[in-house]
Each structure stands twice: as structure tokens, then as C-alpha cells.
């Protein structure tokens, strides 16, 4: 059921009946008009409806739930120092730590002008700071499920006054891994509450499951199902597994890509690619679930601030991360799940910006490519890997006989590497090549 026609009418934020403090925060962030998901979801949330909202990644989902929730919680805002006056009223659950942090950052931005308290709790960090914030009392709590249960078990947080529950990336929240935790959390919440599900993708199973704990939910769907933003140019390069690294560097160089997020399927291959890039003299940060939380945050922050040009990541980074103006995403390996393809490429082309998604597909991955194309109902353009223009021939120089001899000795020493390097692009990313032993950088030692 959708009420789109009537509700899409609001063409600017002031028509959405949000509190002036919230409108001021939105204006300060430079948001001129609400996005389609915001136009549809905000009036429904303000009206107290449960929601299942499907929106493309990067379409402004966070503000779509956070702004109306802040509006509804605003009457409870107070400056009392008593924790009892600041019970948790809105709980937002997110599947990954990074997404939880990002959502919380947005909540902080949106509530800057309101005396409402919020915090974020997630695993991989000490409990102490989180406990202190919870004990002081917060109206809005963003959490990953496991850590929230830890705090609930320690009685550092009470959830019996939660009026609003948001499941961000609801499909992931409801999938096998999170379902038991989610059920335990639901058991701690009042039955009388408003529940909002936001996700880029919804399978039939998940829709059925979600309906079991939503009350007469409204469906909001602003994009065709299981599609990526239209602003993302999607290309496929067919390359042998061994040639992927060269292909990656060629594309980055030839297309003059300022920053790219590179996805691999596994933590092992993410680390491996990070090392291979390093050996080619290319700085790249690596982020995956086995990295210490601090390293993950540092890598992500460094990338967001443009310190690293390349970030290699597993699908942990595919969900929800918003990196402003990220121009390009690579699928160094296609994901096993076509849904992850949509999430991955949703990291670029966000909020209307154009983006590029490049998939390097080896013969072994043809089936995965077919799966992706079926899922997104689109045949992807296959193009040859761009090749850099050949270097101009060196200007003739007069060389002394001895120098030329020693050069040819060096040539013999380096042999095939030197020859291959000669054929390689002069890539802006590459530092001077490392000395001889780094010879076979296409062959990865295990």
C-alpha cells in the first residue's frame, strides 16, 4: 500500500510540519529540498504509522526517519541532570558498527538545536565510556544488536520506555545472523510502540517476517525494487583473475579516478589485495571485520578525509556507509549475493551525484554476473579495460660505453620485470618501482 501521490506534494522542508529547530538544522546542513523517501516517509512517521520503507541507498534514508522522530520526541526534551528524566525513547538498530556510528553522527547533526541526548553503542570497544553515557540517560540510542544486549544484560540500559524502534538496513537485521538477537531485543521493548523498517532491499520472506511485528504498516517504495541509483554508470571488464590488479590500476589511471572503494569477497582477499597494492607502491587502506575497531575507524576516517585514495573492503563496508562524493566503486571480486552488488555500488552516486561502478569479472565469475544482471533486471555494458596512451619514445641521448654496459647488466638482472614494467602504464598512483626481488607482483605468495 502506498500513499505516494498525496504525500509527495511537499517540495520543501517547511511544508513537512517539522519543528523550527529541526528545520534550522536541516538548513544549516545545506539540504534544500526533501528527497523522495523523505517526502513520503516523514508525514507517515509524524502521523504515527509503522513503516516498511524501501529506498535506494544514498537517498536520504537516515533523515527520513530521524527528522520526524526528533520532532515526536521534542516534547520530552529537558535540561534536567537526572538520568530518570532521560529514558531511551527511540532505539535505532543498525547491522554494522560503521553504520551505527554514521547514523548517530546524522542524529547529532539533526538534533543540534534541541536539548535531546543521544549516544551510540557498538561492539569492539570498551564498555566503560558507553556505560557512562547510558547511565547519564539518553533519549535516542543507536546500537548494534549484540552490544545492546550486553548493556541490557548488565542493566546499564532500560528499554521499557522505548516508543520508537527503527531497524536500519532491515533486510540484514532480519537475516539469519541477527534474528535471535533481534527477538531478544524486541522482548525488552514495550509492545505499544511505532516501528520503522528501512532498507534498500526486501525479500518476500523478510516482508512476511517483518509484518509479524509491525502494526498495519505502510509500504513506501521510492525506487524500483532491487535497483541501484540511475546516476551510477555500471561497467564490466572481463579479465583473468591474474590480470585484475593491472586492470584496476589502468582504470584508476586512465579514468583519472580521485578515490575508489574496492570490494573483495573475503577478508583474506582484501588483505591480499592491500599487500599487492602496497608492493606496487600504491597506498591503500584495508577494512574488514577482523581488523581492530580502532583500525577500521582510522582507515574509514582517513579515506573520508581523502588521505587514502583507495580503500579495500569486504561487504562490511557495503552497507550504509556514506562517503561524500565517492566517485567510484570497484568490484574486484563480484559478491556471491546479488543484493550485495546493489549495496556495494550504492556507495557511489549518492544523493543525486553521478558515480562509476566497475566490475572486474573473471571467467570463473560469469555465473555471479548473470545472477547480478537477473537481480537488477539489467544487462551490464561489457567494455575493454582502458589502456593508457603509449609513452613517447625517449629522446636520443649519447651514452658512454661503460654506462650502457652497466645498464644492460641491470636489465639482465631484472629481466622480465623490467620488460613488463616497460609495457605497463605510467600510472599516477605508482611510486618508482621497488627493487628486483619484488619481481612477480602478479603472483601472490600465500
Nearer to ligand AMP, 296 or 350 (CB): 350
For residues 10 and 235, which CB has a smaller minimum distance to ligand AMP in the complex? 10
Q: How far is the CB of 166 from ligand AMP (least distance, A)?
A: 12
CB of 169 to ligand AMP, least distance (A): 11
- Residue 181-210 contact track with ligand AMP, rule CB under 6 A, x = bound: ------------------------------
Residue with cell 551510477: 232
Indicate the Cα dihedral angle 358, 360, 365, 369, nearest 10°. 20
39 vs 238 by CB, closer to ligand AMP:
39
Identify the CA nearest to 421 among candidates 404, 400, 439: 439
Nearer to ligand AMP, 107 or 385 (CB): 107
Helices 293-304 & 97-110, crossing angle to 10 degrees? 50
Q: Whole-angstrom Cα distance, residue 422 to residue 403?
A: 20
The CA distance from 431 to 426, in Å, is 10
The span of 34-42, 244-252, 279-287, 420-428 binding ligand AMP (CB under 6 A) equals 34-42
Rounded to the nearest angstrom, the gap between the alpha carbon of residue 178 and the centroid of all alpha carbons in its chain is: 19
The H or E element spanning position 241 is none
- What distance in Å separates the CA atoms of residue 318 and residue 179, rounded to the nearest whole number? 20
Place of cell 520530552: 76
Question: Which residue, 364, 400, 359, 398, is CA-closest to 380?
Answer: 359
Contact at 8 Å (CB) between 197 and 214?
Answer: yes
Task: Determine contact, residues 351/59, Cβ cutoff 8 Å.
Answer: yes
Provide the mask over 35-74, with x wherever binding to ligand AMP is found by CB under 6 A and - wherever it is not.
x--x-------------------xxxxxx-----------
Stretch of residues binding ligand AMP (CB under 6 A), selected from 2-10, 30-38, 112-120, 299-307: 30-38
Choice from 245, 350, 372, 417 touching ligand AMP (CB under 6 A):
350
Could you give the CA distance from residue 414 to residue 418 in angstroms, rounded to a whole number? 6
Q: Which of residues 299-338 bind ligand AMP (CB under 6 A)?
A: 322, 324
311 DSSP β-pair partners? 261, 285
Q: Which residue, 190 or 306, has its beta carbon nearer to ligand AMP?
A: 306
| From candidates 18, 21, 34, 121, binder to ligand AMP by CB under 6 A | 34
Buried b (16+ CB within 10 A) or exposed e, 437-446: eeeebeeeee
Least separation in angstroms between residue 58's CB and ligand AMP is 5
CB of 62 to ligand AMP, least distance (A): 3
Least distance in Å: CB of 103 to ligand AMP? Answer: 8
Strands 164-168 vs 118-121: parallel, antiparallel or unpaired: unpaired
Closest to ligand AMP by CB, 77 vs 353, is 353
- Closer to ligand AMP by CB, 35 or 314: give it: 35
Residue 6 to residues 45, 57, 220, Cα–Cα distance (Å): 15, 24, 13
Q: Does 274 bind ligand AMP (CB under 6 A)?
A: no
Q: Which of residues 107-166 bind ligand AMP (CB under 6 A)?
A: none
Q: Binders of ligand AMP: how many residues, by CB under 6 A?
A: 14
d(CA 274, CA 287): 10
Stretch that binds ligand AMP, among 31-39, 231-239, 282-290, 295-303 (CB under 6 A): 31-39
By beta-carbon proximity to ligand AMP, the closer residue of 31 and 303 is: 31
* Residues lying near ligand AMP in the complex (CB under 6 A): 31, 34-35, 38, 58-63, 322, 324, 350-351
Amino acid at each position: 500500500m502506498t500513499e505516494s501521490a498525496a504525500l509527495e506534494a511537499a517540495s520543501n522542508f517547511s511544508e513537512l510540519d517539522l519543528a523550527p529547530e529541526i528545520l534550522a538544522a536541516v538548513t544549516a546542513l545545506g539540504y534544500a529540498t526533501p528527497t523522495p523517501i523523505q517526502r513520503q516517509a516523514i508525514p507517515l512517521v509524524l502521523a504515527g504509522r509503522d513503516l516498511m520503507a524501501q529506498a535506494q541507498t544514498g537517498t536520504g534514508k537516515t533523515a527520513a526517519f530521524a527528522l520526524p522522530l526528533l520532532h515526536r520526541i521534542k516534547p520530552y526534551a529537558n535540561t534536567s541532570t537526572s538520568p530518570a528524566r532521560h529514558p531511551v525513547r527511540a532505539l535505532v538498530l543498525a547491522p554494522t558498527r560503521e553504520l551505527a556510528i554514521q547514523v548517530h553522527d546524522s542524529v547529532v547533526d539533526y538534533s543540534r538545536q534541541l536539548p535531546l541526548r543521544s549516544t551510540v553503542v557498538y561492539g569492539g570497544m570498551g564498555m566503560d565510556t558507553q556505560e557512562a553515557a547510558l547511565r547519564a540517560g539518553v533519549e535516542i540510542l543507536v546500537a548494534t544488536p549484540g552490544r545492546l544486549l550486553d548493556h541490557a544484560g548488565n542493566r546499564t540500559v532500560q528499554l521499557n520506555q522505548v516508543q520508537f524502534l527503527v531497524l536500519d538496513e532491515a533486510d540484514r537485521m532480519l537475516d539469519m545472523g541477527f534474528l535471535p538477537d533481534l527477538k531478544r531485543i524486541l522482548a525488552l521493548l514495550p509492545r505499544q510502540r511505532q516501528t520503522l523498517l528501512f532498507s534498500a532491499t526486501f525479500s518476500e520472506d523478510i516482508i512476511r517476517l517483518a509484518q509479524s511485528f509491525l502494526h498495519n504498516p505502510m509500504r513506501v517504495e521510492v525506487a524500483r525494487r532491487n535497483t541501484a541509483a540511475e546516476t551510477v554508470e555500471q561497467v564490466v571488464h572481463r579479465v583473468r583473475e591474474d590480470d585484475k590488479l593491472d586492470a584496476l590500476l589502468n582504470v584508476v589511471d586512465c579514468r583519472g579516478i580521485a578515490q575508489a572503494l574496492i570490494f573483495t569477497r573475503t577478508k583474506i582477499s582484501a588483505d591480499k589485495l592491500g599487500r599487492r597494492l602496497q608492493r606496487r607502491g600504491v597506498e591503500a587502506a584495508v577494512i574488514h571485520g577482523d581488523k581492530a575497531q580502532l583500525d577500521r575507524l582510522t582507515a574509514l576516517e582517513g579515506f573520508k578525509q581523502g588521505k587514502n585514495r583507495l580503500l579495500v573492503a569486504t561487504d562490511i563496508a557495503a552497507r550504509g556507509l556514506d562517503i561524500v562524493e565517492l566517485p567510484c566503486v570497484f568490484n574486484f571480486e563480484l559478491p556471491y549475493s546479488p543484493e550485495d552488488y546493489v549495496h556495494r555500488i550504492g556507495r557511489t552516486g549518492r544523493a543525486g551525484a553521478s558515480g562509476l561502478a566497475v566490475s572486474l569479472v573473471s571467467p570463473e565469475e560469469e555465473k555471479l554476473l548473470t545472477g547480478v544482471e537477473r537481480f537488477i533486471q539489467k544487462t551490464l555494458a561489457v567494455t575493454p579495460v582502458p589502456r593508457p596512451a603509449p609513452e613517447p619514445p625517449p629522446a636520443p641521448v649519447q651514452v658512454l660505453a661503460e654506462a650502457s654496459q652497466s645498464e644492460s647488466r641491470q636489465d639482465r638482472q631484472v629481466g622480465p620485470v623490467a620488460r613488463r614494467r616497460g609495457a605497463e602504464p605510467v600510472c599516477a598512483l605508482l611510486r618508482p618501482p621497488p627493487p628486483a626481488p619484488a619481481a612477480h607482483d602478479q603472483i601472490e605468495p600465500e
